[in-house]
Amino acid sequence: MAFEYAPAPESRSVVDIRESYGLFIDGEFADGAGGRIKTVNPATEEVLSEVVEADAADVDRAVAAARRAYDRVWGPMPGRERAKYLYRIARIVQERARELAVLESIDNGKPIRESRDVDVPLVAAHFFYYAGWADKLGYAGFGPDPKPVGVAGQVIPWNFPLLMLAWKIAPALACGNTVVLKPAETTPLTALAFAEICQQAELPAGVVNIVTGAGETGRLLVEHPGVDKVAFTGSTEVGKQIARSVAGTRKRVTLELGGKAANIVFDDAPIDQAVEGIVNGIFFNQGHVCCAGSRLLVQESIADDLLAALKRRMSLLRVGDPLDKNTDVGAINSAAQLERVRQLSELGTSEGAERWSAPCELPERGFWFAPTIFTGVSQAHRIAREEIFGPVLSVLTFRTPAEAVEKANNTPYGLSAGIWTEKGSRILAIADKLRAGVVWANTFNKFDPASPFGGYKESGYGREGGRHGLEAYLAK
């Protein structure tokens, strides 16, 4: 008899989702002048809440509030005082961890295991980490008395809503800047919960402002003349628009964009852990990860065995209810994203690659896509070149280390890469040749607030995290 895990749902009772939310401006929730947009649970298509689609007047008010707070309170405040607020926020995030994890899973579709064990702990860790820097900026290597930049306009994506917020807000505040942040239109709820945390921490009004909305709100924020610094994480296409729009202005920009990372497995790799790393590389967060290991480059001599092991492992993935504690792969974030994943996958088949999906029962309602791999993929296939941003892995083979490097680098992107080999010298030699901002060795998708993260080429510029992450928020 088989071992069937009974449903183990995390309780929804810890979250209290309001019917509608206003904008968080100058320390208060306020109605916006713009229209309303609905946010849905991607696992059930249930409407969760309504949020404001901030218009130009709303963005004006938010930027003005941030400017006032910067000039009067936060900019002049000594670093050691700012640190106290950041520590307080970090502790409140820990105290409300369960609520934030459940809310994130409901709004985003990611499994509770990931929001509970990865997203929310990392959010707290980022605030703790940058709280530590706030009174030590003179020793960070950016001059003896570096100054903040001013008001930061920050636009974040829907794949790690609260974590991306933390990546943006924690270093900005530590350095003495104030922020106006726009969460993604499909995942605004944890950012609004964070606004409550700011109130709870008695953060001075206007230091953090949250304006909800879609692409147009983001454009208004990025192009607002009162913004000194733009930080964006999202698609390369939008990143290019932002780079164009701020060209010729005084604004400083950091962009963290798309990726098509190579996960390179050599024949002397620790096979069982490599299989785990491949799975974690592409199926973590349904593949909605800019640094996902979406291209598997495997040495031809072990390809058949490795793929057999990978398929066996994929068959064990538990796809379904994001709130079930045993779920490994949750829902695709939106109908639009599901459509894109489907289209690119169909393209893979029509271009001649062989498709294999893990056998799993998908729920009837909601947005779902079975974990899928394509074998027989060549560099010329679009599924080997374009970012799918879903649970779809393209498998290519190589014969020599030089060929592996050549194929890995043969992409307009350069955000991350993985190397699997038991040979330490090979790790160093290959990592040195890979044109990617993050190179993982015998692991994948590992994040730490002390480690800088960012891209080469069309994966963006600037670094977030670590000491390097301070640079974007300090004036020289």
Partner 1 sequence: MRTLAGMTATVASGLDEVARSNAALRAFLHGLPGVDQVGADQRAAMLGTRSIKTTAKAWALDLAIRMVDLTTLEGADTPGKVRALCAKARRPDPEDPSCPPAAAVCVYPAMVGVAAEALDGSGVHLASVATAFPSGQAPLDVRLAETEAAVRDGADEIDMVISRGAFLAGRYLDVYSEIVAVKQACGDAHLKVILETGELATYDNVRRASWLAMIAGADFIKTSTGKVSPAATLPVTLVMLEAVRDFRAATGRQVGVKPAGGIRTAKDSIKYLVLVNETVGEDWLHPDWFRFGASSLLNDLLMQRTKMSTGRYSGPNYVTLD
Residues near partner 1 (CB under 8 A) are 1-8, 113, 117, 267-273, 276-277, 301-302, 304-306, 309, 316, 325-326, 422, 442-443
Annotated active-site residue 256? The verdict is: yes
Q: Any bridge partners for residue 461, and if so which?
A: 255
Closest CA to 187 of 321, 285, 303, 86: 285
Q: Residue 11: what are its φ and ψ, rounded to 5°?
A: -70, 140
Instruction: Output the smallest distance, CB 112 to partner 1, in A.
Output: 10
Instruction: Output the smallest distance, CB 3 to partner 1, in A.
Output: 4
Q: Where are the alpha helices (DSSP H) in 176-300?
A: 189-200, 215-223, 236-246, 271-283
Instruction: Output the smallest distance, CB 10 to partner 1, in A.
Output: 9
Secondary structure element (H or E) that encloses residue 356, with its range: strand 354-357
Q: How far apart are CA 268 and CA 429, in angstroms?
A: 15
**Measured from the CB atom, is 103 or 306 closer to partner 1?**
306
Secondary structure element (H or E) that encloses residue 24, with its range: strand 23-25
Instruction: Output the smallest distance, CB 331 to partner 1, in A.
Output: 19
Instruction: Output the smallest distance, CB 260 to partner 1, in A.
Output: 24
343 and 369 Cβ atoms separated by less than 8 Å? no
**Measured from the CB atom, is 284 or 413 closer to partner 1?**
284
Length of the chain: 476
Q: Which residues contact 350 (CB under 8 A, 6 or more apart)?
A: none
**Measured from the CB atom, is 200 or 301 closer to partner 1?**
301
Q: Is 214 exposed, middle or buried (0-12, 13-18, 19+ CB in 10 A)?
A: middle
Q: CA torsion, points 368, 371, 375, 377, in degrees to nearest 10? A: 50
**Measured from the CB atom, is 119 or 256 closer to partner 1?**
119
348 and 383 Cβ atoms separated by less than 8 Å? yes
Q: Please identify which residue in the block is written with the tokens 């300090």.
A: 474
Instruction: Output the smallest distance, CB 33 to partner 1, in A.
Output: 46
Instruction: Output the smallest distance, CB 416 to partner 1, in A.
Output: 17
**Measured from the CB atom, is 258 or 277 closer to partner 1?**
277
Q: Which amino acid is at 328?
A: D
Q: Residue 346: what are its φ and ψ, rounded to 5°?
A: -65, -35
**Measured from the CB atom, is 269 or 282 closer to partner 1?**
269
Closest CA to 373 of 396, 350, 343: 396
Bin 457: left if φ > 0, else alpha if -120 < ψ < 50, else beta: left
**Measured from the CB atom, is 249 or 301 closer to partner 1?**
301
The one catalytic residue among 114, 256, 458, 471: 256
Q: Which residues are catalytic?
A: 256
